[in-house]
Amino acid sequence: METISKKVILLGHFGVGKTSLIKRFVHHSFSDEYLTTIGVKIDKKVIKVGNTNLSMIIWDIAGESTHKRIPESYKLGSHGAIYVIDVMRPSTYENIDSEILTLQKMMPSLSIIKVANKIDLLIENEESMLRNDLPLEKFTSCSAKTGENIEKVFSLLAKQMLE
């Protein structure tokens, strides 16, 4: 069986749950303790997609309020990106369209999945308020805490990268 390696970057503001998503996906664990990522942390997980073993080299990039501060060298060579927002913090998705456009200009063949994390925190009235600002249908919703849709997020990206 063929094995292919692809570089994946996780992007988003600080505290959106990028590290938690990776911990849930790679190590099947979760911690409520918040630890700031400094620079970049790299993990790896091999998944099967059809007849291919895909080795995902996952770069957990430190969160910034703007992606202009992230060194371009962290992004270069990426095949896929997961852009993570926090459904409870509108500031984490206010500039998402322009930030994704910047990524696409830099790397036109980059596969990008937009992820709305922390859906476990939503309650009905908060969810209806958020739907006015946030088109959740344009995101893959997940929860690093409960594990909901984590495999789906990475599987969707894997399939896009292999197409």
Give the pair of three-digit tokens for residue 78.
């990426």
Strands 40-49, 111-117: pairing is unpaired
Between 106 and 7, the higher pLDDT residue: 7
Q: How many CB atoms lie within 10 A of CB 60?
A: 22
* Confidence (pLDDT) at 1: 79
Count CA within 13 A, CB hemisphere, residue 131.
8
pLDDT at 111 over 90: yes
Indicate which CATH number applies to the domain containing 93. Answer: 3.40.50.300
* Confidence (pLDDT) at 5: 97
**Model confidence over 20-77: pLDDT tens digits?**
999 999 999 988 777 677 667 899 999 999 999 999 999 998 776 555 566 677 788 9
Domain count, the chain: 1
HEC readout, 86-155: ECCCHHHCCCHHHHHHHHHHHCCCCEEEEEEECHHHCCHHHHHHHHHHCCHHHCEECCCCCCCCHHHHHH
- Residue 130: domain span: 2-162
**Model confidence over 126-150: pLDDT tens digits?**
555 565 567 777 899 999 999 999 9
* Confidence (pLDDT) at 6: 97
